[in-house]
């Protein structure tokens, strides 16, 4: 029985930090790929040299090519340009489309049976690109956004109530952009509905902060975007898949009729296990929530239409 093999494309902030989390959790042997010679090799060797200190028994290899990635079980795509201050996710669309397409083609050639998690922005569109270019079935290509958006929602609730993050459940639907749809009606704290613990105005503030959380980090960092929480979120998805945990997490999945949406990649709650997206879970929505979801879906549909794949 061999170890699982994980490829991470893009050895920048998100990719290298994802390698760090994955190594510490001993999820499998890791291959880091980047176009800048020396970066993936240097970061991989640095992580290898932390093994005796941290005591994890997986190998980390760096490369500028894809030969070393052959036979990967799981591939996380983080390659691309990060959003800079004042730059919208949509601005990134055309450049990252080329980067994600070429990475996907190389991955599929080496690992035709892998599961792909896309992290590159604009997330819903890049997930659609990877799904289309790979030709993989819909369960084997997904995007990471909902885990991160829900984590941000949860931590802002925990900070407001001064309670443990462990006791908070929260759900965010929709595209990974300013139109995402955090659902306070589905948020609970130790099983107690959030709506019983905080007044509506406070919840509204938390929802708005969640929607703008990516931009808040960009304004602070000035030269880059968030990477600790995005990489941790991608690795939570990897963990659920590689260990067949059947976790229920919000992910960007290809939809065929669910939520009344067709042929788009969009944030919804799914069951994640060894087959990837094993089920899309549909939750009931109020008219107001449904309208917000539809508005978010229209934005994603318009960007997909502009792709000319
Ligand atoms: N889905 C999310 O919630 C989320 C959160 C944070 C960041 N992101 C996105 O993730 C991506 C990476 O962010 P980051 O902060 O790590 O950026 P970064 O600039 O630190 O790293 C990106 C890396 O990709 C590499 N790269 C570029 N073209 C490549 C190619 N063709 N093949 C291989 N590698 C290539 C670059 O050399 C760089 O090392 C960005 O698109 C960013 O917007 C998404």
Q: Taking Cα atoms as reference points, which of 230, 244, 231, 229 lies closest to residue 4?
A: 244
Which amino acid residue places its CA nearest to atom 24 of ligand 1? Answer: 79
Q: What pLDDT sits at residue 307?
A: 84
Which atom of ligand 1 lies nearest, measured to the CA of 17?
A: 16
- The residues, any chain, with a CB within 8 Å of residue 267's CB and separated by 6 or more, are 124, 143, 145, 146, 149, 172, 173, 174, 175, 176, 180, 250, 251, 252, 253
Strands, E, within the chain: which ranges? 5-9, 29-33, 60-63, 74-77, 115-118, 141-143, 168-169, 172-173, 181-182, 188-189, 192-193, 247-256, 262-273, 276-280
**Ligand 1 proximal residues by C-beta, below 6 Å:** 9-15, 33-36, 39, 78-83, 96, 99, 102-103, 119-121, 123, 144-145, 148, 176, 224-227, 230
Residues labelled as active-site residues: 176
Structure tokens at 220: 């602070």
Q: Are 125 and 306 contacting, i.e. CB atoms less than 8 angstroms apart? A: no
Which atom of ligand 1 lies nearest, measured to the CA of 148?
A: 3
CA 291 – ligand 1 centroid, Å: 32
Q: What pLDDT sits at residue 288?
A: 96
Q: What is the pLDDT along the chain (309 residues), one digit of tens a residue?
A: 789 999 999 999 999 999 999 999 999 999 999 999 999 999 999 999 999 999 999 999 999 999 999 999 999 999 998 666 676 666 778 889 999 999 999 999 999 999 999 999 999 999 999 999 999 999 999 999 999 999 999 999 999 999 999 999 999 999 998 899 999 999 999 999 999 999 999 999 999 999 999 999 999 999 889 999 999 999 999 999 999 999 999 999 999 999 999 999 999 999 999 999 999 999 999 999 999 999 999 999 999 998 877
Q: To test ligand 1's pocket by mutation, which of 17, 62, 78, 300 has the most ligand atoms within 8 angstroms of CB?
A: 78
Which atom of ligand 1 lies nearest, measured to the CA of 11?
A: 39
Q: What pLDDT sits at residue 168?
A: 98
Q: What pLDDT sits at residue 83?
A: 66
Q: How far is it, in rounded angstroms, from Cα 168 to Cα 12?
A: 31
Q: What pLDDT sits at residue 87?
A: 67
Q: What pLDDT sits at residue 89?
A: 61
């Amino acid at each position: 029985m061999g170890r699982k093999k994980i490829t991470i494309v893009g050895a920048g902030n998100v990719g290298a930090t994802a390698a760090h989390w994955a190594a510490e959790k001993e999820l499998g042997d890791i291959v880091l790929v980047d176009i800048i010679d020396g970066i993936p090799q240097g970061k991989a060797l640095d992580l290898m040299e932390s093994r005796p200190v941290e005591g994890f028994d997986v190998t980390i290899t760096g490369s500028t090519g894809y030969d070393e990635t052959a036979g990967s079980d799981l591939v996380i795509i983080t390659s691309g340009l990060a959003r800079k201050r004042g730059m919208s996710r949509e601005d990134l669309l055309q450049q990252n489309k080329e980067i994600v397409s070429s990475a996907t083609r190389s991955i599929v050639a080496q690992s035709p049976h892998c599961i792909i998690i896309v992290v590159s922005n604009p997330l819903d569109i890049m997930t659609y690109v990877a799904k289309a270019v790979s030709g993989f079935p819909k369960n084997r290509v997904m995007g990471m956004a909902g885990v991160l958006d829900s984590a941000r929602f949860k931590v802002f609730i925990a900070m407001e109530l001064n309670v443990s993050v462990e006791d908070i459940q929260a759900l965010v639907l929709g595209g990974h952009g300013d139109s995402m749809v955090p659902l306070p009606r589905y948020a609970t704290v130790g099983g107690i509905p959030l709506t019983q613990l905080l007044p509506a105005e406070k919840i509204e503030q938390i929802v708005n902060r969640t929607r703008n959380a990516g931009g808040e980090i960009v304004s602070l960092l000035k030269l880059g975007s968030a990477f600790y929480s995005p990489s941790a979120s991608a690795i939570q998805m990897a963990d659920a898949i590689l260990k067949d945990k059947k976790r229920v997490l919000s992910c960007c999945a290809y939809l065929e009729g669910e939520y009344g949406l067709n042929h788009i990649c969009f944030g919804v709650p799914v069951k994640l296990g060894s087959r990837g997206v094993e089920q899309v879970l549909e939750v009931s929505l109020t008219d107001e929530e449904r309208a917000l979801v539809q508005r978010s879906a229209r934005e994603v549909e318009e960007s997909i239409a502009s792709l000319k794949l």
